[in-house]
Amino acid sequence: MIIKKIRDLTIVDIEDKELVISCDSSGAIGNKDMDVVKISPDIVGYFGAHVALCENIAYGATPITIVNTLSVEMNNTGKEIIKGIKKAAKLIDIDTENVITGSTEENFPTIQTGIGITVIGIKEKNINFKTEKENIAILVGLPKVGEEVLNSNDILTLDILKRLRDNNYIHEIVPIGSKGILYEINEISKLWDLEFKLLNYNVDLYKSAGPATCAVITLKEENLKNLNIDIPLIKLGKFN
C-alpha cells in the first residue's frame, strides 16, 4: 500500500484503484451565541460539503462516503447542518441516505458551532489529468469570501464542476481556497515543472476564494470554444 499527498488530498493506492481523501472544517460560523459569523447552519453544512467534494471530484474521484464530525447537538443544529450537506450532495446525484455518516456532541451543551467534513472517493489509477506545455489556464467562477458568497450567481457549484470533470479535453481542475489563485497556479507549475505566463492582470490573484467559489482549469487553447458554462470564464495565461 502506498500513501501520498497531492495538494490537499491524501491518496491511498489499492491495487488498480486509489482512495482519495479530502476534508474541510469550520468554527465559530453558525447561529449559536458565541459564533463570530452569524449564518444559518444549513448553509454552513452546504459549503463545508462543497469544499471537500470539490477537491475529490476535481481529482477525478467518485465520492463514496461523506463523514460529518459535528461539535454540536443533533437537535436541531446538527440536523440543519446535515440538511445542507445533503443539498450539496444531491447536486451531483449522491445517494445521501447511504453515503453520509457522522457524529454529534450529545454529552455537553455547545455555545459555538464547529464542524468537520471528510469525503472519501474512489478513482481508477489509470485515469490521470496532467497540465502540459502550451496549456492555458482558465478561471471558472470568481473568488468570493464571507457575505459575498451568499446569493452570488458567479461562483462554482458542484454540478458545474462535475460537468467540467466529465470532459476529457479538460486536463487539471484545481479548486481555489484561502491562498488565492496565484498560489494554486504556482503549485501546478511546480508539480509539472512548467513556467506560467500571466496574461490577465484584472483579477485579484491573491484574494481568498472562501469555500472554493472558483477553480482553475487547464486545457489546450483550441478546446476553449467547447466550454459552455453560465458563470464567468476568465483566461489567466499559459503554461510553458
Q: For residue range 185-211, what is the model confidence (pLDDT) as tens digits?
A: 999 999 999 999 999 888 999 999 999
* Residue 35: alpha-carbon gap to chain centroid: 24
pLDDT-derived band at 161 (thresholds 50, 70, 90) equals very high
Residue 41: C-alpha distances to residues 82, 139, 148, 157, 203 (Å): 9, 29, 17, 19, 31
Please check the confidence at residue 217 and state whether its pLDDT lies above 90.
yes
The angle that helices 41-58 and 79-90 make with each other, rounded to 10 degrees, is 40
Distance CA 240, CA 231 (A): 27
Task: Give per-residue pLDDT as tens, 13-30.
Answer: 998 999 999 999 999 999
Please check the confidence at residue 224 and state whether its pLDDT lies above 90.
yes
Please give the mean pLDDT across all residues of the chain.
95
Task: Give per-residue pLDDT as tens, 164-174.
Answer: 999 999 999 99
What's the pLDDT score for residue 68? 98
Please check the confidence at residue 8 and state whether its pLDDT lies above 90.
no
